[in-house]
Amino acid sequence: MAKSHDVRRYPGFMAITILCLVILYAPLLVVAVYSFNASPSITIWEGVSLRWYVDVFTGPESAKFREAAWNSFIIAITAATTATAIATLAATAVLRSGRFRLRTFSLGLISLPLMVPEIVTAVATLIFFNAIAIERGLLTILLAHIAFCIPFAYMPISARMQGIEASYEQAAMDLYATKRQAFTRILMPLMMPGIVSGFLLAFIISLDDFIITNFVKGAGVETLPTAIFGAVKQGIKPNIMAISTLLLLVSIVLVALSWLIGRRDQARGR
Amino acid sequence: MPQDRDIAIDVRDAVKRYGTFTALKRISLSIRDNEFFTLLGPSGCGKTTLLRMIAGFEEVTEGTIYLYGQEIDRLPPHKRPVNTVFQNYALFPHMDVLENVGFGLEMLGKSRAEARARAGDVLEMVQLSQFASRMPYQLSGGQQQRVALARALAPRPRVLLLDEPLSALDLKLRKAMQVELKHLQRETGITFIFVTHDQEEALTMSDRIAVMSEGELQQLGEAREIYERPRNVFVADFIGDTNLMEVTVDRIAGGRAQCHLGGGHKLTCDAVEGIGAGARVHMSLRPERLFLSARPVEEESLSGTVREMIYIGTDITTVVDLADGPQFTVRSSNSTRGNARVFEPGAKVAVNMEPGAARLLVD
Ligand SMILES: Nc1ncnc2c1ncn2[C@@H]1O[C@H](COP(=O)(O)OP(=O)(O)OP(=O)(O)O)[C@@H](O)[C@H]1O
Ligand SMILES: [Mg+2]
């Protein structure tokens, strides 16, 4: 019975799967491989070399990239931290307030930005900053990043929290913990895997955001994605591939970390 | 007003409404100091609701709850000297057993060392000392149950609330825990309020039982009283097995009520206040207080035919059809010393009853 419904037996399933995987991963693979190319051409293979990686750190554009990377890193850390804190409090309020109608509504309100086209958010944010006459620069990038990171941080945190029965906090309060103690001693530690995932997700999203950043950044302020874009406009050089590969590596490490935390947690039977 | 030192919990006219649904309909009951008190009733009757109102997790819609004379129904849970053993135990998954048990003491402001020492003592009391450094997920269900118990007992609450704490355990462990709980209650002198829907459990463990149904208190009394003198049809039916039948009261004389059931069968039993001659009411007859004989042994023996004989190990249950009358279930103990004469289906028998076996029910 179950077998006849197995999706793997549908004709062409394997072919389509492989096609999808190729479309998804072939470009990444090409970039990664060609970042080790010895040739200054991006299409002709001349042998393995680390020259473009060296170029990223010491070449003529290295100062620009280093500053951009530093900006990106600072913004990602700050935005992810702030967004995670806000998302944690929001999830607590929404899921533990007990008023059900409000809950559905706020859930929609918080997750809606995920579905709004990014360009719309970018324009709206820019108009907002203009309206309040705030000078564009690192601060505006940071504020914008905090705002759009919140729903991303919120998702894993609220998913985690939904799995935590209210009886743990009730047990804590029954054992003379105040509401605040029940939160810090019980709920927070139990939510930690969700909080870490939320933070990592927000960090990656902030790190690689281009559209919104490009709108709200001031002249001369660059993050890594806008710097890369700027460099690409002058023609693609293999050092771009090296940078992209490095970024990819950072993302993979973070995703793996988040997965490992989730798995360790499952193994403990929570 | 209740100022009594002997009353641990006094619930006065408590009403609980969820929107338009009334979960508790004006309940009043007093739970005595140092008592093993049981709330018994079928699923959905409001036992948990009442318990949660005492613990502070549900607000009372109307009414008052006193703890040793002090009004507590507006206090948050952490200000009530009452602890709960949750049905799902709710052990903190990120703390080991010792930390779990010491948590309440720590929250009360005791030093870590003091909390740990006391937690160790309580763990010894429930025979779990060797598990002190285990995490909850490394324990069996029965062990988790005892940790939950230890955790709730450690801060020395004045009242301990237990919401069906044994329902997740298998029968054998459950029986063992019943004994252990009862023992712990005596040893600690703490008032226990125990919730169950298992009438046998309630009868074995409790000093007093409150039988509830659909948000109302049906009867409150000692186990024996509830079993032997049920007040109404619900209690008679819910506690133990019984033969329930409709009878008409013919005459009341000398504290005795003469009744008849269909088919010309007559029965006399103790009169009950509120039931007069001519009333058509229910009567409860406990199967183990009836016995069978081949010939009538007394004037009021009821004659009938055996329909079924069921062997259940300790007992033998016989179902008898009265001539033109209702059906009776009779239980006799499976021992040669008892009156265990086994009658096969089809045999003509007389159903006889011990004094006090029949009881009239008010409603
Ligand atoms: N939060 C709530 N909102 C609405 N109705 C509720 C709520 N909590 C309980 N009820 C209702 O109140 C009634 C009593 O519930 P309660 O949990 O006290 O039953 P119980 O006697 O403990 O039953 P069980 O033996 O199944 O645990 C039920 O009909 C239940 O549906
Ligand atoms: Mg319940």
pLDDT tens across B290-317, in order?
Answer: 888 888 887 777 888 999 988 888 888 9
> Measuring CA to CA, which residue among B49, B46, B143, B42 is closest to residue B97?
B143
- Same domain flag for B275 and B183: no
Number of residues assigned to chain B: 363
pLDDT in tens, B198-208: 989 999 999 99
**pLDDT, tens digit, 9 for 90 and up, residues B233-275:** 999 999 988 999 889 999 888 888 898 887 778 888 888 888 8
Q: Residue B81 pLDDT > 90, yes or no?
A: yes
More confident residue, B168 or B235: B235
The total number of structural domains in chain B stands at: 2
Average of per-residue pLDDT across B331-360: 80
State how far the Cα of B50 lies from the Cα of B294, in Å rounded to an integer. Answer: 51
Average pLDDT on A56-63 reads 85
Q: Which residue's CA is minimally distant from atom 2 of ligand 1?
A: B18
Report chain A residues whose CB lies below 8 A from the CB of B77: 170, 173-174
**B340 and B288 within one domain:** yes
Same domain for B185 and B51? yes
Domain boundary among B233, B260, B294: B233
Q: Look-up: residue for tokens 């989730």?
A: A262
Q: CA-nearest residue of chain B to A192?
A: B94
The reported pLDDT for the residue numbered A101 is 66
Average pLDDT, stretch A77-91? 95
pLDDT at B10: 94
Q: How far is the CA of A80 from the centre of ligand 1 (A)?
A: 42
Query: What confidence score (pLDDT) does residue A268 get?
Result: 58
CATH number of the domain where residue B229 is located:
3.40.50.300
Residue having the nearest C-alpha atom to atom 12 of ligand 1:
B23
Q: What whole-number distance in Å separates Cα of residue B75 and Cα of residue A46?
A: 78
Please, are residues B284 and B293 in contact by the beta-carbon 8 Å criterion? no
Evaluate if residue A95 carries a pLDDT over 50: yes
Confidence of residue B9 (pLDDT cuts 50, 70, 90): very high
Contact yes or no for A165 and B94 at CB 8 A = no
The Cβ of residue B10 has, within 10 Å, a number of other Cβ atoms equal to: 21
**How close B69 gets to chain A, by Cα (Å)?**
20
Q: For residue range A195-233, what is the model confidence (pLDDT) as tens digits?
A: 998 999 999 999 989 999 999 998 888 999 999 998 888
Query: What is the CATH number for B293?
Result: 2.40.50.140
Are B225 and B256 part of one and the same domain? no
Domain boundary among B201, B233, B265: B233
Q: Are residues B16 and B48 in the same domain?
A: yes
B157 and B263 part of one domain: no
Q: Please check the confidence at residue A1 and state whether its pLDDT lies above 50.
A: no
Percent of chain A whose pLDDT exceeds 90: 43
Task: Please write the tens of the pLDDT for every residue from B23-44.
Answer: 999 999 999 999 999 999 999 9
Q: Which of A169, A175, A192, A195 to mutate to test the interface with B (most CBs of B within 10 A)?
A: A175
Range of the domain at B40: 4-233
* pLDDT score at A176: 94
Q: Are residues B120 and B168 in the same domain?
A: yes
Four-residue CA torsion sign, A32, A35, A39, A40? positive
How distant is the Cα of B111 from the closest Cα of chain A, in angstroms? 15
Cβ separation of A176 and B155 shorter than 8 Å? yes
B337 shares a domain with B192: no
Strands in B348-353's sheet, in edge-to-edge order, are: B290-293, B348-353, B302-311, B315-322, B327-333
Residues 6+ away with beta carbon under 8 Å from B344: B306, B309
* B93 interfacial to chain A (CB closer than 8 Å): yes
The complex's ipTM works out to 0.81
Q: How confident is the model at residue B2 (pLDDT cuts 50, 70, 90)?
A: very low
Q: Find out whether B319 and B329 touch, Cβ atoms under 8 Å.
A: yes
When pLDDT is cut at 50, 70 and 90, the band that residue A100 belongs to is: low
A269: which chain B residues are within 8 Å (Cβ-Cβ)?
93, 137
The answer, yes or no, to whether residue B176 has pLDDT greater than 70, is: yes
Q: Is A46 on the interface with B (CB under 8 A)?
A: no
Question: Do B286 and B270 have their domain in common?
Answer: yes
Instruction: Please tell me the distance from the alpha carbon of residue B264 to that of residue B76, in angstroms, as a whole number.
Output: 62
Same domain, B196 and B314: no
pLDDT at B335 over 80: no
Same domain flag for B256 and B129 = no
Chain A contact present for B158, CB below 8 A: no
Ligand 2 center to B4 CA (angstroms): 29
* Among B233, B268, B301, residue at a domain's last position: B233
pLDDT of residue A255: 84
Instruction: Give the closest residue (by CA) to ligand 1 atom 8.
Output: B49
B92 and B213 housed in the same domain: yes
